[in-house]
Structure 1
Amino acid sequence: MQHVVVAGRYRLVELVGRGGMGRVWRALDEVLHREVAVKEVLPPHWLSESEGDDLRRRTLREARTAARLNHPNVVRVYDVVRVGGHPWIVMEYVPSRTLQAVLDDDGPLDPVRAAGVGRALLAALRAAHTANVLHRDVKPQNVLVRQDGQIMLTDFGLATFDGEDGVLTRPGMVLGSPQFVAPERAAQGVSSVEADLWSLGATLYAAVEGRPPYARGTAMATLAALANDPPDPAPHAGPLAPVLAGLLCRDPRRRIGHDEADRRLVAVERDPEPSDEAEPTTVLRIERPPPPPPWPGAPRPSATGPRTTSPAAPWPFGAPGPSHAVVPGPFPADPPSPSARRGSEPDPAPRDAAEPADDPASAAPPTGDDPASGRARHWIRRGPWRWGWW
Structure 2
Amino acid sequence: MNGRVVAGRYELSTLIGQGGMGRVWQGYDRTLDRRVAVKLLRPDTMAAASQADELRRRFLRECRVTAQVDHPGLVTVHDAGSDGAELFLVMQHVQGADLADHLAEHQPYPWQWAASVAAQLCAVLSAVHAVPIIHRDLKPRNIMIRPDGTIAVLDLGIASVVDTDTTRLTHTGVPLGSPAYMAPEQAMGGAVGPYTDLYALGVLVHELLTGGVPFAGSTALGVLHRHLYEPPRPVRELRPEIPGELEDLVLKLLAKDPQDRPGAAQEVYEQLAPLLPVPGSGHPLGPLDPTRPFLRPHAPWPDRPGVPDAHRPAAPAPPPAAAPADTPDIAGAVDEVKRLLGAARLTQAIDILAGILPTAVRTHGAQSSVVRILRKQYAATLMDDGQYRRALPVLRLLAEERLAEAGDPGDAQAVQHRYEAALCLEQLGEAPEALAEYRSLLPHLARDPARSYEIRQRVAQLLIALGDPAGAQAELGSLLHEVQSLYGPHHPVAEGVRRTLANLASFGRR
Distance in 2 between the 1:108 and 1:67 partners?
Answer: 36
| Displacement after TM superposition at 1:108 (Å) | 3.7
AA in 2 matched with 1:179: A
Q: Deviations over 1:210-248 (max 9, x none)?
A: 111112222111011122222233233722212202211
The match for 1:169 is 169
- Superposition pairs of residues 61-210 of structure 1, within 5 angstroms: 61-159=61-159, 168-169=168-169, 175-210=176-211
One-letter amino acid of the structure 1 residue matched with residue 239 of structure 2:
H
Name the structure 1 match of 2:257. Answer: 251
The aligned amino acid for 1:138 is L
The answer as to whether partners of 1:170 and 1:188 remain within 8 angstroms in 2 is: no
Distance between the aligned counterparts of 1:93 and 1:144, measured in 2? 11
| CA 1:2–1:45: 2 relative to 1, 3 Å | closer
| Equivalent residue number for residue 273 of structure 2 | 266
Q: TM-score, normalised by structure 1?
A: 0.63
SS at match of 2:61: helix
Decide whether the 8 Å contact of 1:174 with 1:185 is kept in 2: no
Q: How many Å apart are 1:191 and its aligned residue?
A: 2.0
Following TM superposition, by how much is the alpha carbon of 1:55 offset from its aligned partner in structure 2, in angstroms?
4.1
Counterpart check, 1:33 vs 2:33: yes
Q: Which amino acid in 2 is paired with 1:80?
A: A
Superposition deviation, residue 6 in structure 1: 0.4
1:260-315, CA deviations, whole angstroms, 9 ceiling, x for partnerless residues?
A: 211211122269xxxxxxxxxxxxxxxxxxxxxxxxxxxxxxxxxxxxxxxxxxxx
Q: Is the 8 A contact 2:136 2:196 kept in 1?
A: yes
Cα 1:105–1:265 shift into 2, 3 Å: same
C-alpha distance in 2, partners of 1:215/1:185?
A: 17
1:44, 1:103 → 2: CA distance? Answer: 35
**Contact map agreement 2:134 2:197 (CA 8 A) in 1:** yes
Secondary structure at the aligned position of 1:79 is classed as strand
1:347-362 matched pairs, under 5 angstroms: none
- Structure 2, unaligned stretches of length 5 or more? 162-166, 279-510
Report the Cα distance in structure 2 between the residues aligned to 1:125 and 1:77, rounded to whole angstroms.
17
In structure 2, what is the Cα distance between the partners aligned to 1:71 and 1:168?
32
Distance 1:44 1:117, change over 3 A: farther
Q: In the alignment, is residue 236 of structure 1 matched against residue 242 of structure 2? A: no
Post-superposition offset of 1:98: 0.6
In structure 1, what is the Cα distance between the partners aligned to 2:229 and 2:61?
34
Q: Are the counterparts in 2 of residues 17 and 23 from structure 1 also a CA contact under 8 Å? A: yes
1:336-355 mapped onto 2 (5 Å cutoff): none
Q: Equivalents in 2 of 1:243, 1:130: separation in Å?
A: 22
Give 5+ residue unaligned stretches, structure 1.
162-166, 272-390
The residue matched to 2:18 in structure 1 has which SS?
strand
CA distance in 2: counterparts of 1:155 and 1:108, whole angstroms: 27
Q: Which has the higher helix share?
A: 2
Q: Deviations over 1:85-113 (max 9, x none)?
A: 32101111001111001122322412111
Q: Is the 8 A contact 1:201 1:244 kept in 2?
A: yes
* 1:214 match: 215
Q: CA deviation at 1:64?
A: 1.7
Aligned counterpart, 1:289: none
Residue number in structure 2 paired with 1:388 = none
- Paired with 2:170 and 2:159, the residues of 1 have a C-alpha distance of 15
Shift of 1:57: 3.5
Q: Secondary structure at the match of 1:82?
A: strand
Q: Are the aligned partners of 2:42 and 2:85 in contact in 1 as well (CA < 8 Å)?
A: no
Specify the alignment match of 1:343 in structure 2: none
CA distance in 1, matches of 2:71, 2:35: 19
Larger Rg: 1
After superposition, give the CA deviation of every residue in 1:112-138 in whole Å (9 maximum; x if it has no partner): 110000011111111111121111110
How far 1:177 sits from its partner (Å)? 0.1
| Native 8 Å contact 2:126 2:266 kept in 1 | no
- Check the 8 A contact 2:16/2:24 in 1, yes or no: yes
Deviation string 1:46-102 (CA, Å, 9 cap, x unpaired) is 754345555444332212211111211111111111012321011110011110011
SS at match of 1:205: helix
Give the SS at the match of 1:138. coil
Highest relative contact order (Cα 8 Å, sep 6+), 1 or 2?
2
Percent sequence identity over matched residues? 38
How far did residue 12 of structure 1 move?
0.7
What secondary structure, in the 3-state scheme, does the structure 1 residue paired with 2:125 have? helix
Figure out how many residues of one structure are paired with residues of the other and give that number. Answer: 265
